[in-house]
Structure 1
Amino acid sequence: QDIVHAGLTAEYHDLEARGKPGTLFGGMDTVVTAPFLGGNPETQAPSHQRALSNTTTPSRIEAQREAEKTGEILAVPEIPAVDISNFGGGALDSHQALNPTESGAQGDAKKSYYFPPDPDMPSWRPMSMNWWYITILICIAFGLAGLQEYICQISMRKANENQGLIEFKDPKEIPTIQYFTWKYAPTMILVSYGILWQISDFEVKRLEPYYQLSKKTGATAEESLNMDYLTFFSYLTPIKAIRYQQWAVTLSSLSTLIAGSLVPVLQSASVEMYPKKSERVEGRMKYVRIDPPWSRTVTAALCFVGICGIILLFQLRRKSGLLSDPKGIAGIAAMATRSHILSDFNGLDTANHNKIHKQLKNRRYILHKSSLWQGEYIKHTAADHKSDQKRPENPHPLMLRLKAGVPYIIFLLVFAGFIPICMFVEGANIITEKLPWFLTAVATIIKLIWSTLDCDVRMIEPFYILSRRHASPRTLTLDYTGTVPGWLPIKAAINRHYLVALVGLGAVLTEVLTVCVSSFSVDGKKFISGKGDELDDDESQGDSRDNSGETFKSFWVSFGLALGILLYLFLIACLVYLKRRHKFLPRQPGTIASVLAFIHQSKMLVDFVNTETFNSKQMTQYLERLPKTYALGWFSGRDGEDHCGVDEEEILAEYQHGVDWTKSRLLGGHIGTWEHY
């Protein structure tokens, strides 16, 4: 029975190796095989092994030149090592001889693939990565920097004349437009500018693996197929990008962090009211001025963002190799039907990221004519020291686990409690008086962490739907990761993905929270009706409501919004961990490699042949014409074996984390054998 099974398996691999145009792996028909590739055979063969010699072996450089010269894809096998110790007969395993997938790399030649340049390499990119969009961001950065310095100069000149940008005796005297311009407009403008950078940053991080794959010789799996920036904490992304020398991600993430998080905090600290609280006298003039040191820091930060944008503009001159947006599972599946790249994922159905990387680390991969291909086989890589790093075993991103969720929820509650304490408890508001930017900084931290949670919920939503069985074809093209933040709640609500919509709305509200808390530097007791003008014996006139920078209405609107938003975030966070904390995936699906491992034996791949040129809309329409539904679980693959991943219905069983369904299933070949009795 084992011999028959091995023979059938060998026949299956032989059939898939004969790729024909218009069929699965049909691109292999265009590959030309060249002589063995390698160095000195004597130095390559380990002890008790003898490598076959070949005097006409071309070098890697020569192989690449030959591919460029002929315009054909060149496959060059490595010199195979033949283990002569097995020639005695005792160690030869007939089962391994008949089953090429189990004999492994030791007896088979490892092929390197070399590709000619694509004269018509496509370069699709989203709107937020186009030159004109980045140019607008650059102009805004330098424009805001110039405006900040201009206002600072005016403020300094007026200060010398004992005046201010805004002058008042009572905040109620300030015209509404001036008051809004002072209290809310700067933070709103800077937060909105940060959102514009965030839109671009999402796309840069999402598409960077494809830019790496579209390089002349491709990229290692560590730099491309296994790269995941979206579920990584945003404030650590620049460090990771620098480590891999992926400068576009470095620049976009730095610009986003500075523009969306640092600059609003600095700007909040740069606006001050004079005289100081202890020196204010009711009925006398108060002034709004700009503090020069803080203002110059804001200007410098904005100039740095502008410079990063200029360099990013040059970095984005690269070609992506994409014809359209590779959205969802379908986008990746369509690019994996022409070559044998899926053969590298054998045995990785439920593998974690560390095991996937270990299996892929000795090969480069390339995006050629909108299809993913194996590239050069490499025995040693410069990134080998990185490949042994421990990857998370948990199938959920960190922010979807209780170990991160519970502290974050507690943090939200503590901050929600701290605001009224700071406003209404005697002496507690000294924190906001001495550090007027403190609450804005805390709100920014909440925003950054929520943004990570938002990305994680977006990413796993299609897989959650698939895990519930009989998902519509639209699920395969569903991809929220690149959706504009403001549009996400609406889009998700239209699709009836209400949890995604609620979390996306929370991301918008965190921006509002940053604006609201920027004005909390007053004594809240003075804004209780009837107590605005009452002073205790130990209070100076500076403690009067009229000597603060807030009106009765502005204080309570900001206070109510801040607490309401924090309550909303608390409730939605609890709902997320209630609905999504259970494990319904073998591993995190945030990388191209993870998705390929899910589909490498799927029968549905046949439907994706010749679809690599489809855009997302065309792909969705094409799939919806097929009378099929899809699921995540255990299914019978194209090789006749049981696999775990995504495939068309009907599948064999749902996925249960930690349970190997194949071990509980009795196959026909097992009947009558002693070990399965």
Structure 2
Amino acid sequence: MAITMEHRVVGNPITSAATTYSSTTFPSATFPASLEARSFPTGNAFPSQVTLNPFFAVDSGERKHSTIPTPIWRVTNGQHFTAFSAAFPITSGIISFESTKTAPVPISTIVNSTGTFFTWSNGQNTLSPTITPQQYVLVSVVPLILATLFSIPWKILDNTIKEMEPFYQLSRPGGATAENSICLDYATSTILTVPIKAISRGHMLVFCSSLISLAVMFLPALASEAMFVSVTGKHNYACAVFPNLIRIIQALLSFIAILVIFMIAYSCRRTYNIYSEPLSIAGLACLLSLSPALETFQRIESKTKQKELKRLLAGRHFAILELSEMGQSPCPAIVELSSSSPSTITNKSLPRKELWFQSPKTTQSILPSDFDRSVDEEWVKPEGRLSSVWQELKTKLHFCLAMLFLCVVFILIAFYYFTFGHSWFERWMDSQTFGVRFAWTALGTAIKSFLGYLDQDLRRNEPYHRLLLGSARPEDSILVPGYMSPFSAILPSLRRRHFHVSLICFASVLAQFLPICFGNIPYSPSSSQGTYDICSKIAMAILLFMIACIAVSIWRPRKRVKPMFRNTDTLASVCCYVASTPSGDGDAMGMLDKMRGLSKMGNSERNKFLMKSKGLYAMGIVEGGELRIDCDEKVTKLWLD
């Protein structure tokens, strides 16, 4: 006699709720009541196989246990149950399971304005069971938190790779050209242009790192829409997903994993011929103190603009090699190798539009003869052409635009939180359509990235600002390292009394959590009131703090230092500022004289040596009329208004 077996699922199949099995009752054999229910452990994983050992009751009342292979119910993909053929001896003969029937299983999810439903394999639609509060948190908050936290270490790694790439190129056998080493500006380039620059120069590690950072930026916005909570009626909450977004996230993570494997394999071959941190002013000065290339940078005017500097150094080859003085051990130094560029460099070879400042003629020139500074026709950007007010506004224009943008975002969030009108903005926020949470999470990511660039620029320029004020201690100026993230810069900046830097760094740290808060501001009937209130208030508080920090950056009282002629975003630019004239016999010892032989020391040993020397440093006009960084007593005039 054939027996047909079926099953009935009670509860949420996603969470493995209680599962009940039953069978058709026959006169000759029935399952006892003790086998009508089987509960499985809660969780996301179903058992791959369930074995039943049933007893059979026959007409005489005698109960016999099966002695041959028992029926097997197998779970396929966590949902399908199939009974295999088996035979059992009973008093009246053999009962065979000749045919099976696959039980109905959920094959798709329907999400609409009325709620979330399961579509079963038999064509029926049923209401999705409600989820627990823990599952609600896992779906609505945890994906955003994980995507945000996942981006932080990659940003630190990406900054480190971009900052150290020039030193790796200099450490390669044969060195590298200036445009591929000391003129690289990856650290200050936008994230969209870095991959293009890196692949065109063959810098594969920077290319892979920038692609990972670019991919990681999209993860919070995608995670905010990929999984969500749907509500049916008043109290029935269910999990739902957008399959296409899930596939995109999986593709991004797979892409990142492939790039990481390549980066690990590629990094095993990279070497750096340096012993201490080279990103500080002192670290770079140590590499120049014994270098013959120091003469090359001394010949370049301090007024040279960034584009002009790259053009002057084009075609020249530089490398980091071991050099030694008489009786001294070898020390790493940046040296200039034979180059294809002309030996004589003059401003006449540059286009007229690149010439901004006049090269003053002086009878006390300290430059070698192959640099012709006395040109026939000189192009001048006269001092005083722009008013001091406009110069100040131009310097801080990006701060003003940032504050205006943050004020607009704050007003929108406050308007949505405190009012209940029927404007187009509120209707869009309440529409629950796809893309609302995505847009707000992307907005939080954009603000986070902007604060990161602002914070990085301030951290980079703060040591030079201290030097421009004059009489700066080494630990406050030339020994300040290049921090790769605001997390690592807050406490050291406080110890150095760089309160403005630490304030902006703290604002940048708070901005890391804006995507999480922004993603939970748009209305959803499945959102709890507590989640909405907390995220809205935290977002407004962070924005207010950021606006206050930028306002301090604009209006804080400070000495009026003149702007430097070019940014310090490349090694070549810093080398020109550091390349002061070596001291002669009887002259006071300069900064480069103190740095001789320190490039073979470690960080702590080098820093202790310079701090024990108790010298002060400044950035100003030195002998010869150039703007350089040197010891305080070597600077004849500060670069102040």
Structure 2 length normalisation: TM-score?
0.66
**Aligned 8 A contact 1:210 1:224 in 2:** yes
Give the SS at the match of 2:337.
strand
The Cα offsets for residues 11-50 of structure 1, whole Å up to 9 and x where unpaired, read as xxxxxxxxxxxxxxxxxxxxxxxxxxxxxxxxxxxxxxxx
1:579-625 Cα distance to aligned partner (Å, 9 max, x none)? 58964423211211111111212521011111111222212101011
- The answer for the alignment partner of 1:450 in structure 2 is 451
1:417 aligns with 411
Q: What secondary structure does 2:188 align onto?
A: coil
User: Does structure 2 conserve the Cα–Cα contact (< 8 Å) formed by 1:340 and 1:373?
Assistant: yes
Q: Tell me, in whole angstroms, the C-alpha distance in 2 between the residues paired with 1:452 and 1:431.
A: 31
CA distance in 1, matches of 2:438, 2:266: 35
Instruction: Give 1:653's aligned residue.
Output: 637
Once the two structures are TM-superposed, the CA of residue 428 in structure 1 deviates from its matched residue by: 2.5
CA distance in 2 between counterparts of 1:480 and 1:445 reads: 27
In the superposition, relative to structure 1, how do residues 254 and 652 fare at CA in structure 2: closer, same or farther (>3 Å)?
A: same
Give the match for residue 400 of structure 2: 406
Select the residue among 308, 317, 335 that pairs with 2:287: 335
Query: For the Cα contact (< 8 Å) 1:400–1:453, is it kept in 2?
Result: no
Q: Secondary structure at the match of 1:623?
A: helix
Let me know the Cα RMSD of the aligned residues. Answer: 3.1
Alignment of 1:585-596 (within 5 A): 585-596=564-575
Measure, in 1, the Cα distance between the counterparts of 2:507 and 2:409.
16
Q: Counterpart of 1:431?
A: 428
What is the identity, as a one-letter code, of the residue corresponding to 1:592? Answer: L
Give the structure 2 partner of residue 531 of structure 1. none
Q: Greater Rg, structure 1 or structure 2?
A: 2
Report the 3-state secondary structure (helix = DSSP H, G, I; strand = E; otherwise coil) of the residue aligned with 2:544: helix
Partner of 2:173: 216
Shift of 1:552: 2.2
1:514 deviates by 1.0
Cα 1:249–1:431 change in 2 (3 A) is farther
Q: For residues 421 and 527 of structure 2, what CA distance do their matches in structure 1 show? A: 18
Q: Residue 289 of structure 1 is aligned with which of 234, 240, 244?
A: 240
Counterparts of 1:478 and 1:164 in 2: how far apart (Å)?
65
Instruction: Give the 3-state SS of the residue equivalent to 1:377 in structure 2.
Output: coil
- Residue 130 of structure 2: aligned partner: 167
2:338 is aligned, of 357, 370, 376, to 376
* Residue 563 (structure 1) aligns with: 540
Using a 3 Å threshold, how does the CA distance of structure 1 residues 591 and 274 change in structure 2: closer, same or farther?
same
Gaps of 5+ in 1: 1-146, 169-173, 381-386, 524-547, 658-677
1:173-225 CA-partner distances (Å, limit 9, x unpaired): x43x4343222221111111110101111100100001111121211111111
Secondary structure of residue in 2 paired with 1:225: coil
Partner of 1:598: 577
Q: Which is worse superposed, 471-480 or 359-368?
A: 471-480
The letter of the residue matching 1:652 is: T
Q: Is the 8 A contact 2:561 2:639 kept in 1?
A: no
Distance in 2 between residues matched to 1:569 and 1:449, nearest whole Å: 11
Counterparts of residues 266-415 of structure 1 (less than 5 Å): 266-274=222-230, 280-283=232-235, 285-316=236-267, 317-345=269-297, 346-369=299-322, 370-379=332-341, 401-415=395-409
Give runs of aligned pairs for residues 536-615 of structure 1, distance below 5 A.
548-579=525-556, 583-602=562-581, 603-615=590-602
**CA distance in 1: counterparts of 2:632 and 2:201, whole angstroms:** 40
Percent of pairs identical after alignment? 24
Task: Give, in angstroms, the shift of residue 303 of structure 1.
Answer: 1.0
Question: Paired residue for 1:102?
Answer: none
**Structure 2: how far apart are the matches of 1:341 and 1:644?**
19
Separation of aligned partners in 1, 2:197 and 2:553? 28
Report the CA distance between 1:274 and its aligned residue: 3.0
For the residues of structure 1 that align with 2:127 and 2:450, how far apart are their CA atoms?
A: 38
Cα displacement (A) at 1:634: 1.0
Q: 1-side partners of 2:187 and 2:262: how far apart?
A: 22
Counterpart of 1:621, as a letter, is K
Look up the equivalent residue of 1:367 and give its one-letter code.
I
Task: Give the 5 Å matches for 1:8-87.
Answer: none
2:209 is equivalent to residue 252 of structure 1: yes
1:266 maps to amino acid: L
More strand per residue:
2
8 Å Cα contact 1:488-1:501 kept in structure 2: yes
Alpha-carbon displacement from aligned partner over 1:326-385 (angstroms, at most 9, x marks no partner): 1311100111122210111213223211222222113111111321000121138xxxxx
How has the CA–CA distance of structure 1 residues 489 and 207 changed in structure 2, closer, same or farther, with 3 Å as cutoff? Answer: same
Greater share of residues in helix: 1
Distance 1:165 1:608 in 2: 72
- C-alpha distance in 2, partners of 1:513/1:520? 11
TM-score, structure 1 as length reference: 0.63
Kept after mapping to 2: 8 A contact 1:348/1:356: no
Give the letter aligned to residue 232 of structure 1. Answer: S
